[in-house]
Amino acid sequence: MAERTYKRIAVEEGFNFPEIMSEAVKVAAQQPPLVKALNPFGGSGGLWDALGSKLGDLGEGRIKQMDADGIDMQLLLLSAPGVQSLEAGLATELAAMANDRLAEASHKHPDRLTGLAALAPQNPDKAAQELQRAVRTLGLKGAVINSHTNGEYLDDKKYWPILECAAALDVPVSFFFEGLSGKEIGVDAHGDILTDKEALELVRAYYTIPETQRRRLFDLARVLSEAA
């Protein structure tokens, strides 16, 4: 086999830590049935249960897996929903913790790992300050925002300090689609939409399917719909 003449970089590679996910699980437990089912951290058998040890590994275990998969470098993101479902003060604190740990790992493995900063848009001014610290002090390459923050999106003017900071730093903001808010999918916090237990388990199981297999399922569904 001919030797590769290019560097293979994997982007949107997730990481997370127990301190963040334990809080995310508490929030998910309070969501209405449909939103909870669509949340990969909505209950037992979720993403953290299946992948927690791997998501939290920013060291030799991850590097070993990268070598096995033929990956030269990873661009790391705090996995959805990040800290955006949490109380503002706690979210700001945990985002800084995640950025510190990500920076430590990238400094230890500069040729293998780099990443985008986690932010807590709940407090836009502090989020902008954290982005500046993450880029100028920690050496991260930009920021990631996961869809909405409590049903609000970055086009709301109150979030513009984050975008203005990114523009001033000349770094990208990656928008990761984590899902729609409960309002957008017509779920009332006190409603009983999709209360069937089997349906909920089916939806939740979707998030345990590897991405490549999910794509195949979508392709199959499209072919079947066109043939119908």
Assign 22 a pLDDT band (cuts: 50, 70, 90): confident
Q: Note the pLDDT of residue 192.
A: 45
- Residue 164 in this model has a pLDDT that exceeds 80: yes
Assigned token pair, 177: 């689609």
Distance CA 40, CA 29 (A): 11
User: With pLDDT > 90 as the criterion, what percentage of the chain qualifies?
Assistant: 46
What are the φ/ψ torsions at residue 89 (nearest 5 degrees)?
Answer: -65, -45
Domain ranges (residues) in the chain: 9-176+196-227
How large is the average pLDDT for residues 42-68? 77
- pLDDT of 62 > 90? The answer is yes
* Location of structure tokens 């975008």: 163
Q: Please state, rounded to an integer, the average pLDDT across all residues of the chain.
A: 79
For residues 47 and 207, the answer to whether their CB atoms sit within 8 Å is: yes
Residue 172 has pLDDT above 70, yes or no: yes
- One DSSP character per residue, the chain reads -PPP-S--EEEEEEE--HHHHHHHHHHHHTS-HHHHHHSTTSSTTSHHHHHHHHHT--SHHHHHHHHHHT-SEEEEEEPTTTTTTS-HHHHHHHHHHHHHHHHHHHHHSTTTEEE-EE--TTSHHHHHHHHHHHHHTT----EEEES-BTTB-TTSGGGHHHHHHHHHHT--EEEE-----TTTTT--TT--TT--HHHHHHHHHGGGS-HHHHHHHHHHHHHHHHH-
3-state DSSP assignment of residue 78: strand
179: region left, alpha or beta (phi > 0 left; psi from -120 to 50 alpha): left
The confidence score (pLDDT) of residue 154 equals 83
Class of domain 9-176+196-227 (CATH, top level): alpha beta
Q: What is the pLDDT of residue 48?
A: 56
Given a cut of 60, whether residue 7 has pLDDT beyond it is yes
Average pLDDT over residues 180-189: 46
Cis preceding linkage at 18, omega within 30: no
The position carrying tokens 């996995």 is 79
Contact 191, 32 (CB under 8 A): yes
Question: Higher model confidence: residue 69 or residue 199?
Answer: 69
| Higher-scoring residue by pLDDT: 154, 204 | 154
